[in-house]
Amino acid sequence: MKIQIGLKLIGLLLISVSLCDCSNKTNTTETKKEVVVMNVDDTYNSTSLVDVISRVKPSVVDVYAYGNNFISAGSGVIVAKSETNYYVVTNHHVIENAKTFGISVYFDETNNSNYSATLIGTSLKNDVAILNFTCDKEISCASFINDSTNVKVGQEVIAIGNPLGILGGSVTHGIISATQREVYLNDIGYMELFQTDAAINSGNSGGALFTNQGILIGIVNSGYSDYEGLNFAIPGNTVKKCVESIINTYSNVNNLGYVEGENNLGMSFSQSAVFTDSSLNSQVDVVYVKENKVNSDAEKANVLSYANFLANKSDSFYRVKKINGVEIDSYQTAEKIIYDLKSLDTISFVFEGISRITTGGFFQQSYFYLTGNEINIDISLTQYVYSI
């Protein structure tokens, strides 16, 4: 069953706050590959929920991403370590604007301290980011479930995170409400997620979803704020794949890691009614290019977006008529096709121009209409690598 309700990502953005000194040192030389160990375990046994929470809670951290005049607050989970570093998984949307003052992780209860963290790499498609930090203290790492497809509906779960960006280490309890729930997330697209009724709020993004035995089965990333008990997490198998690929492809802070095969199209869509031509006699519902991400394949192919039109960078923008020969009747259809494409694939678009006409004298009104001009563009997809 598909859910197409535009679920909200739940990282928390705190505006106009003073910044702490947590800048990272820049290293332009290629780093030596280190041996990173990630725990996978299904064997925890405990009859006490209190004992389980006490054991796994130290592996969950608060994450703060610092930029110009803002802090993005979220959560993270320590999932791996090497001889010199600990590795934290969080959400891409928690750290994506951390371009100026860096990222820090905070332990609110275990040792009441914070550490400057380095961004290792991200996956936009899976909403996963990996950080690392150096600490001379011994810190426990969470253990992933061996195979998250074994998670069942009704299984009890524990969510631990940093709700509201100020309540780090908060624990809630619930069950798995559904597995393999296909949902559409604003700014990301389709994802296949666990659904849970465990209470989750802004700031929980990137936090842990454990079984009641303390096994990590997912990373929290979204919720539907208009209803209670409708929250979602990225399954452990997806997260493990991202962690392994990002760490293996990371070179240094100027060459971030990535998930191999993730495409860099970077095109988002929306839907609206426009007039069929400049006579303004009839309307039709169309899918159009909403925005192209900076340095994306779509931007490099000069695909005209609504965002550029609003910024007066073009006098028209594109309706999406076909993708790879498939008629596009909704933005969900477009997003779904793109989700399945890999880097090195070629995607073929048939676009139609949308322009604006202004009518009236003193009280002018503007209307959008289809120009009738078709544009065919083929794009060879490249590998997605996040750039700071």
Residue 211 pLDDT > 60: yes
Q: 337-342: which pairs have CB atoms within 8 A and are 24 or more residues apart?
A: 338/189, 338/263, 338/265, 338/267, 339/125, 339/189, 339/190, 341/263, 341/265, 341/381, 342/261, 342/262, 342/263, 342/381
With a CB cutoff of 8 Å and minimum separation 6, the contacts of 380 are 297, 344, 345, 346
Q: Which residue segments constitute the domains of the chain, with CATH numbers given?
A: 2-17+49-249 (2.40.10.120), 267-380 (2.30.42)
Selected catalytic residue, list 59, 205, 222, 343: 205
Split at pLDDT 50, 70, 90, the class of 8 is: low
Interval 268-302: pLDDT, tens: 999 999 999 999 999 999 999 999 999 999 999 99
Q: Which of 235, 226, 220 is nearest to 162 (CA)?
A: 220
User: Which percentage of the chain shows pLDDT scores above 90?
Assistant: 64
- Summarize pLDDT for 22-56 with one digit per residue, the tens: 334 444 455 567 788 877 776 666 668 899 999 99
Taking Cα atoms as reference points, which of 200, 42, 192, 13 lies closest to residue 209?
Answer: 200
Across the chain, what does the average pLDDT equal? 87
Buried b (16+ CB within 10 A) or exposed e, 308-344: bbeeeebebbbbbbbbeeeebeebbbbbbebeebebe
Assess whether pLDDT exceeds 80 at residue 2.
no
Check if 127 is active-site: yes
Selected residue with higher pLDDT from 288 and 11: 288
Is 23 annotated in the active site? no
The pTM (predicted TM-score) of the whole model is: 0.84
Of the candidates 62, 75, 93, 343, the residue annotated as catalytic is: 93
Reported confidence tier of residue 10, pLDDT bands at 50, 70, 90: low
Of all helices (H) and strands (E), which one includes residue 241?
A: helix 236-249
Query: How do residues 230-247 score in pLDDT, each as one tens digit?
Result: 899 999 999 999 999 999
Among residues 62, 108, 127, 297, the one annotated as catalytic is 127
